[in-house]
Each structure stands twice: as C-alpha cells, then as structure tokens.
Amino acid sequence: MKKFITLGLITMGIFGLSAGANAQGKIGYISADDIIVLMPEAAKVDTQLNQYQQSLYQNAQDKQTAFNEAVAKFYKDSTTMNASLKEVKRTELQRQVQELSGAEQLIQQQFEQKRQELSLPIQRKLQNAIQDVAKENGYTYIFPREALLVAPPGDDIAPLVRKKLGLKNPTPAAATKPAGTK
C-alpha cells in the first residue's frame, strides 16, 4: 500500500510539473538588428548621420586650418610684437591647442548623441511591432536572438514582425550556392 501511495504522489508530481511548464506560455526570439536593417527609416537615418558626421569633421578641419593660419601669422608678426602682446597671443594659441586636442572626443560624443536621437523612433516602432506580434500570437517572452546559444527556428518571430511592419523578406544567403556545389 505504501508503494502505491508513493507511486501515486510521484505521478501527480510529474503531471503537476508538466502542467506548470505548459502554463508558462510561449517563448520566442528575434534579431532586432536584422529587422532594423530592412526598415526604410534606417537608410534615411544612416544618410542623415553620414551628413552630420561630415559636417562635424569639416567644422573641426576648419578650426584646425584657422589655428594653423594663426600660428603662421604669430611667427611672422612676432618679431614686431612687444613681450606682453607675444604672451597674450601665445596664451590664445595654447587655448586653441587645448580646444583642438579634445575635438575628436567631442565629435564622437556629438555623433553618438545624434545617432541615439535619430534611432529612437525606429527602435520604438520596432518595439511596438514586437509587442503587438507577441500579444497576437500568445508569446509570453521574447528574447534577443544574439543572447541565445541554441534556438529552434519555429520560435523566431522575425517573419511575423517583418509582416507586421510591411517589410520584404530578406534574400537568404544560404539560397545562393557557390559555383561547383550541388
């Protein structure tokens, strides 16, 4: 009788665990970067960022040119300057050197800030689409594809999100075989 009760408890435990596992819901994954690349807004953002970056570098180059001209003028005119005027000009040139030395870092900060500003609407649109697809298809959890070591193809929600956003499916690289393969 004791064995029967023990066997019954073990059986109930196994069924209880499997029922609990089923109650957790569906789990899916997506590579957000793969979707963003297909979005037309991303191409516009890339163009705007390239133009912005070029303008930042052009501005820095203009400052460098102005500095070089100021140095050349200082050397040319220094023979006719008195000591106090030379000191004022040197101080001004040293200030410009310090300003120029931090230009690269400042450009990177400004560029990153602009990138985040322009990318935010795209990220929001994608996030909303992912949430809608998850809700419509009963997914409880959606993970980034890059965080998973192993994932079954059936749980990739990228095709559903692409459809939701009205994006074309990318051409698979595996479909194009190199010459000489079967």
Between 24 and 25, whose confidence is greater? 25
What's the pLDDT band for 9 if we cut at 50, 70, 90?
very low
Contact between 64 and 93 under an 8 Å Cβ cutoff? The reply is no
pTM of the entire predicted model: 0.66
4: pLDDT strictly greater than 50: no
**Letter string b/e over residues 69-98, b meaning 16 or more CB atoms within 10 A of that residue's CB:** eeeeeeeeeeeeeeeeeeeebeeeeeebee
The domain limits of the chain are 26-167
Q: Is 138 left (phi over 0), alpha (psi -120 to 50) or beta?
A: left
Does the domain at 26-167 match CATH 3.30.910? Answer given as yes
